[in-house]
Chain A
């Protein structure tokens, strides 16, 4: 069973991300959700899980995706968890900074099943996408 934490202040965006991940071929997965970085840290602590993947929006209230990324990467327990950042802003220097902070990938909105293909390969080699 894979555990994926999705962090976005939009319930619509969280649903779309889940749909994309399923379409990218990841099966047998439990999704955990949080509205912002702060809530995501609470989920990590309270549920006592080490997720296989964290997918987070960049711009969120209370704690944004960049700070969440830094917190996760500085924690010995969670440092190896791949973090994918999703953003509607295109900015090469921002993307470089997030990558240097340890982001596994920076994806631009709108995300698609295809966007998750490389992430999918990392999680489950040989996953069979259903997006064509």
Chain B
């Protein structure tokens, strides 16, 4: 695999768009102005810590309106009332899946990695790190933050 930071960024963008599309049946786009952090309405942030092969964290921050829209779409067939519990659960699970998929796609095949349990941090925004990604679903922004690409490069 190409070890440049750009190729790692491209890989992360590809994994995020494809996995959410597979899971939620919605189209995900990389925001044109990817380096600008958008304002999120009532953000719901999930955090998951990476324990191995290096320390780091993944976060996802979604505006409440987008989170409710995704939950309503996904649970439509289940006749479930969409409440905070469902919305939080969905946000955690999306992050869990994205973090696992990013790790599996960036590390060597069969390489070991260990993720913690995703937790919700209501209202928190991603930290000021430079490894955040800005995506959109139906014009609604969401942010995904990863450990710095340099940390992945060491493991390749």
Contacts and interface: CB of A to CB of B under 8 A. Distances in A.
Interface of A: 10-13, 15-16, 59, 88-92, 108-110, 112
B96 interface: yes
Interface residues of B, number: 28
Interface in B74-105: 74-75, 78, 80, 86, 89-90, 92-94, 96-97, 99-101, 103-104
B97 A110 contact: yes
Given A10-B89, A10-B93, A88 B100 contact: yes
Contacts of B114: 89, 91
Given A90-B100, A108-B104, 11 more contacts: A10-B92, A11-B75, A11-B80, A12-B74, A12-B86, A13-B96, A16-B93, A91-B113, A109-B100, A109-B101, A110-B23
A127 B117 CA distance: 34
A88 B117 CA distance: 10
Nearest to B15: A110
Contacts, number: 57
Tell me if B's interface is mostly helix, strand, loop or mixed: helix
B61 to A, nearest CB: 17
Contacts of B104: 90, 108
A109 B118 CA distance: 14
A65 to B, nearest CB: 13
Contacts of A12: 74, 86, 89-90, 92-94
A109 to B, nearest CB: 5
B89 A90 contact: no
21 contacts: A10-B89, A10-B92, A10-B93, A12-B86, A12-B89, A13-B93, A15-B74, A15-B78, A16-B23, A16-B93, A88-B115, A89-B113, A89-B114, A90-B107, A90-B113, A91-B112, A92-B112, A108-B100, A109-B97, A110-B22, A110-B100
